[in-house]
Amino acid sequence: MNTNAARIIEQKVDELYATASARHPTYETVVHREFCESMLHTFVDAESPTGLLAFQHARQKYGYLTPDEIAEDDLKNSDDGICSHGLDFWTCPRGCFG
């Protein structure tokens, strides 16, 4: 893949993160989860040359996690009293622990 094509893919990944950040400016975990989901919708074939580059960039720059990694992270956080939004019982507006 040429450098220009790689740059375009990386810019698209950066745009996806910026969009998620703009939608949820105060919830880091929600930004991250929405970003990860948008990656799956945008780069459907993760094994293609484009997908490989996109997901590598997303993981290195933004900490992209697969759905399985997110589920594992949620399970660990739940044991510590943190919901899937990255908040505790007292602060989650969705009432995750209610």
Give the start-to-end residue ranges of the domains of the chain.
3-65, 70-98
Measured distance CA(85)–CA(42) in Å, rounded: 22
Asked whether the predicted pLDDT for residue 98 surpasses 70, the reply is no
Measured distance CA(73)–CA(58) in Å, rounded: 17
Structure confidence at residue 97 (pLDDT): 62
Q: What is the mean pLDDT of residues 58-84?
A: 91
Structure confidence at residue 50 (pLDDT): 97
Closest CA to 6 of 49, 62, 38, 46: 49
Is the pTM here over 0.75, yes or no?
yes
